[in-house]
Chains A and B, each alone.
Chain A
């Protein structure tokens, strides 16, 4: 009987130890878990890029929408990309006249708006007259022909003008840029287009992509999903850089952070590629 008494005492003691030890370990573990991943409260990013770095950017403006106090955009604090559109039409202008194509790809241009390209172009903004500030025929004389030659300027756009990589070297600057009116683009027929409507020029060669784009299959549109609704269209040069298409089609981007691991998992090192054996 005495031994029973003794052993029951031990059991009680062990249980108490179990309880105290267990709960305190849990307390430590739990308080460690509780700490939220503090988002660094440095200056919030308000200037951010839309689709591609350096192609078009937007500045966040608070309370554009008076009803909900929305900003026009919310930017990623880690990558500086636009994550969320409060006002999809902020800073847009009507797309302008679009040619009718007499097939089933007429395009939904009734309420189409675009973001003007001209304010986004570095050299266009050098002066009040745009590119003509320098390319006025006097300061920089109009070139006589379209023969490729080495150019000492604008190396940030095309590093070596003799190796311009559009159309596998078949094209040169003045095939697309008007020789006499640098504020405009020009096609093979000599028709001039605004920088805000590059699709008309690009479409003259890239017909298939152009038709896909008109159909809404290629490229990006935001705003209304309904046919005939107001949509902001992305034009070609908001994603594609015509000067580097064959060297680097697209610059790579920093991705947004990965999801949190499932509770209890330390890492995702099991995600090894090529280990699957069957």
Chain B
């Protein structure tokens, strides 16, 4: 029953449904693309100049979801050839579909997180982000003060607040406990650079794509380059994205990152196991974000950030499986979602263990 329900609300399926009628149009109107595709896949690749090998075929490439199997094969062969030449190692681009009967979910224990940012850099290593200019990181860790920083006894015990020039006739003029405390982005520090963590007066909240059930980014994309797959993960077709950044504007979690310039990815650090919707090297001017490591999780492995976390604060699994780590957390811990008031229903849960 629940599986059927998920299928119904599946945005990727909507895309698929329209595919047949759509393909007719595409085929009719972009014959040029089809003709050009096989020819240029053979074309020689100049590894020194990545700009020159944006071939005609790639330019005319359609939305990946709407391609025929033959077109998909060609597109992937093109990419593998180009990446292998460009980075000097055998690169695979997978298009493994999302497993059936799975809804991915994530849980993060903010009482355990020590703010070491290992997840951030594990993600960078796994997902082939641009290392500098622009530096792209999909996870950002907020450092938030515990209540004892905001409040001290002396400060709280100052008696009544000073009278305003209007007197105190029912005018709300504040008090001694007017500072933010606890889970609030108001006093969050995103650029903390301490010698040692955790700082005892602070706690840490890593934020990445929350894989919303009602993703505002998918709604905002004018070309459907971003969509939700049937395992509940929001993905991007980097070759279809037009770089308008409406999704970045729509996202209430600051989860999306833009390739402002040509990404800088050293060949020796490049991860050659890639997925079309996941960690394959991106090009200038497209959006990217956390995919729950689609190249790993679709094949059964945990995301890189989870594996790097030294304290086991991160839990990942199938929300449809009551035996999974995430469901166990949901069942036994006090769970909340970040910015629930936006009504996006994330599948990323925070809990206090």
Contact = CB atoms under 8 A, between A and B. Distances in A.
* Touch A–B, Cβ below 8 Å: yes
- Where chain B touches its partner, the secondary structure class is loop
Interface in A220-254: 220-227, 229, 234, 239, 250, 252-254
Given A76-B118, A108-B323, A274-B179, A84 B191 contact: no
A223 to B, nearest CB: 7
Given A216-B328, A218-B353, A273-B187, A260 B135 contact: yes
A68 B272 contact: yes
A253 B137 CA distance: 21
A258 B332 contact: no
Interface string B164-207: 00000000000000111000101111111111111000000000
A252 B197 contact: yes
Centre residue among A52, A215, A225, A260 by max chain B CB count within 10 A: A225
Given A268-B189, A277-B178, A256 B312 contact: no
Interface string B80-120: 00000000011010000000000000000000001111101
B189 A225 contact: no
B239 to A, nearest CB: 23
Contacts of A259: 120, 135, 137, 140, 190-191
B328 A51 contact: no
Interface in B260-315: 264, 271-273, 297, 300-302, 304, 306-312, 315
Chain A: interface size category? 35 or more
A256 B121 contact: yes
Given A34-B133, A217-B329, A276-B186, A84 B273 contact: no
Contacts of A225: 297, 300-302, 316-318, 324-325
A253 B187 contact: no
B272 A69 contact: yes
A2 interface: no
Interface residues of B, number: 68
- Where chain A touches its partner, the secondary structure class is loop
A212 B312 CA distance: 12
A256 B120 contact: yes
Interface of B: 89-90, 92, 114-118, 120-122, 125-126, 131-133, 135, 137, 140, 145, 149-150, 178-180, 184, 186-198, 264, 271-273, 297, 300-302, 304, 306-312, 315-318, 321, 323-325, 328-329, 332-333, 353
21 contacts: A33-B133, A51-B310, A81-B118, A84-B125, A216-B324, A217-B315, A217-B328, A219-B312, A222-B302, A224-B302, A225-B302, A227-B317, A227-B323, A234-B312, A239-B310, A252-B198, A255-B196, A256-B117, A260-B135, A273-B187, A277-B178
